[in-house]
Amino acid sequence: MKDREILSLLHSLNRPTFKSLDHGFFKRELCHPAYCLVHVNVEEERAAEFSRRALRHHQLNSSVKRKGSVLRQRPREISLRGGLAKQLVHLAWNG
């Protein structure tokens, strides 16, 4: 699927959070109140493990908290754009 097709699909789903290794999804212009995008910036082999753990962060542990945001997840930090954040926010975590 192409990126635009993915975004169209997300509009049709109920409370989706889409995770990808593609850094192109970490753009403010992709913020939309219908979904959350997560760029998992770790080794491919560890992506599933990291993405599950990051979504347990107390500021991201529900779809309501994540909705409208794009996230970049790194081993020691999660960066957040959109949603309730007016500017880039960095959340510390011990991934």
52 contact partners, CB below 8 Å, separation of at least 6 = none
Q: Which of 57, 64, 66, 65 minimizes the C-alpha distance to 19? A: 66
Tell me what pLDDT residue 49 has: 86
Residue 13 pLDDT grade (very low, low, confident, very high; cuts 50, 70, 90) = very high
Note the pTM of the prediction, 2 decimals: 0.88
Tell me what pLDDT residue 84 has: 66
What total of structural domains would you count in the chain?
Answer: 1
pLDDT average, residue stretch 54-58: 86
Q: At 95, list the tokens.
A: 């991934």
Residue-number span of the structural domain to which 63 is assigned: 3-92
CB 68 within 8 A of CB 82: yes
Strands 69-73 and 36-40, how do they pair?
parallel
